[in-house]
Chain A
Amino acid sequence: MNPYQVLGVAETATDAEIKNAYRELAKKYHPDNYTDSPLADLAEQKMKEINEAYDMICDMRKNPSSSSNSSYYNGSYGSSQYTHTNFPDVRRLIKEGRLDDAMQILNGVSTSGRNGEWYFLMGMVFSRKGWTEQAFSYFQTACRMEPNNPEFISALNNINARRNYNPSGYNTVNSAGCSVCDICAGIMCADCLCDCCGGGGCC
């Protein structure tokens, strides 16, 4: 493996350039972006490669100022611990990717047993299937039923972040109206989100 190739920089790049390239990539493949995504394992693998490449270059250059700080982005992928669950089987099935089976069990639950977690797990199954609209609506219901559950809130936050696509960094819609106030509110929301996931090193 050529670490320079992994980071997409020339071997003659300065330390600052390398650090920048690393940061850009780390932002792109950060585990937070891929939470609840079926491709999370691939992103994790990619992240590992980037971290290794960066560490390798730092070691090679033996430059204390750019010393290995990649652990910074070593966020772990969502194997969050549940203290209590009513549906351990469903969670296992979702993890194994057996979505139809999970759905079948959930559909078998009587109306009285449909608590916040039931809605959350329905949302999970739909999200994995790519049924984004259904997932969104189930996550919303889950959060309405149990507004203080951090697991549900983080799922809803995740999905909300994805429902706003603006990779170019500028909003091309004038008619949608984006006032200074909206920007402030947006930044505040983003900041809350950041804290929610344990806070990256970026803010």
Chain B
Amino acid sequence: MFGYVTVDKSEMLGKDFEAYKAIYCSLCKQLGKDYSFLTRFILSYDCTFYAVIALSLEDSCYGFCSGKCKFNPLKKCNYIKSGEEALSKAAALSIVSVYYKLKDNIADGSFFEKLLCYLMMPFFSHWRKKALKKYPEIEKAVAKMSLAQFEVEKDKSCSIDKAAEPTANMLSDVLTLLVDDDDEKSGQKRRVLSSFGYFLGKWIYLIDAANDFEDDLKKGCFNPYIIAYGNDKALHLSDINSSLDHCLSECLLSYNLLEIKHFNRIVDNVLIYGLPKKQKSILYKEKELKHGE
């Protein structure tokens, strides 16, 4: 379940898109630095968004510098100058979530999926250990999700809310981790982030479920929408849309109460344009304009 949290480039100022790209590239660099050159392939938009939020909560001001892209020596990239801690957390989240995703696939994937995952597993368990040492709380939050998801999927009459809860809680946990002071203001911030993360996580889980509906139906896999609405997706499209809309509304209400210091136009863009656009394109299969990267 990756890559749903994106920006809508067409609604963005050029400078904001440059900044977003710089964060994306910086996260890529950080993955290479903290783990291995190979982990750069797992870079996702979702974790980039986590990095954006992590960076936006810090006090320090960021500058940009230019460098070379490690994949394409002809391409130039911008990187942000500071904020290594925030990027490192996002890198850890990327590693850990891929590790548990692989574990999931080994448990219920097809033969070739399993084979592929088995081959990648040794690398990722090594990197996961590294991430665990650095940010044990992030590892714990994702591990908790994986376990809870497994439990939830045993329930064959599982409700939509219940199915989405593990992912929702995970994102809520990892976002609250970003605030570590202990004063009253931080307590409030944690409450807001917790709610923000909960509903964003819920949206991510549900949009993934909506996206996989046909596949899951064919393979007989667990999908809360199939349990709730049976096998006719078209008939219940507006219900699915409403359930996703509700998550986004709550998400925006929480976000409005969050005081962030940088990149607010990027986060605004994601919430106001990026996510709804993604949702419409998945539900109504509208063709999406490609990100010109």
Contact = CB atoms under 8 A, between A and B. Distances in A.
Interface string A27-43: 01100011001110011
A133 B248 contact: no
Most chain A CB neighbours (cut-off 10 Å) among B245, B253, B271: B253
A46 interface: yes
A33 B273 CA distance: 20
Nearest to A43: B257
A134 B161 contact: yes
B257 A168 contact: no
A162 B253 CA distance: 10
Interface stretch (B94-102, B133-141, B195-203): B195-203
Contact of B191 (A42, A126, A130, A131): A42
Contact of B159 (A34, A134, A166): A134
Given A29-B256, A39-B254, A46-B257, A131 B161 contact: yes
Kindly state the interface size class of chain A when it binds its partner: 20 to 34
Nearest to A162: B249
A111 interface: no
B172 to A, nearest CB: 9
Contact of B243 (A29, A37, A39, A133): A133
Interface in B241-280: 241-250, 252-254, 256-257, 271-273, 276-277, 280
A159 B245 CA distance: 11
Given A28-B256, A130-B198, A133-B161, A39 B247 contact: no
A9 B149 CA distance: 46
Contact of A133 (B160, B188, B195): B160
Contacts of A172: 276-277, 280, 286
A37 B284 contact: no
B168 interface: yes
Nearest to A164: B245
Contact of B284 (A28, A34, A161, A175): A175
Given A33-B253, A130-B250, A134-B161, A163 B272 contact: no
A126 B244 CA distance: 16
A37 B228 CA distance: 26
Nearest to B271: A167
Interface in B67-126: none
Nearest to A126: B161
A75 B272 CA distance: 26
A135 B34 CA distance: 43
B243 A163 contact: yes
Interface in A38-57: 38-39, 42-43, 46
Nearest to B172: A130
Contacts of B242: 163-164
A16 interface: no
B28 interface: no
B195 A173 contact: no
A168 B272 contact: yes
Contacts of A43: 253, 256-257
B192 interface: yes
Nearest to B169: A130
A130 B202 contact: yes
A176 interface: yes
Contacts of B256: 28-29, 43
B192 A39 contact: yes
B257 A163 contact: no
Given A166-B276, A168-B11, 11 more contacts: A42-B257, A130-B198, A131-B162, A132-B161, A132-B246, A133-B228, A134-B159, A165-B248, A167-B252, A168-B276, A172-B277
30 contacts: A29-B257, A33-B253, A34-B253, A37-B253, A39-B192, A39-B254, A130-B161, A130-B165, A130-B198, A132-B243, A132-B250, A134-B159, A134-B161, A162-B245, A163-B242, A163-B246, A164-B245, A164-B249, A165-B244, A165-B246, A165-B248, A168-B11, A168-B272, A168-B273, A172-B276, A173-B280, A173-B286, A174-B286, A176-B238, A176-B284
Smallest CB-CB A-B distances: 8 pairs? A131-B161, A165-B245, A162-B249, A163-B242, A165-B248, A133-B160, A132-B246, A163-B246
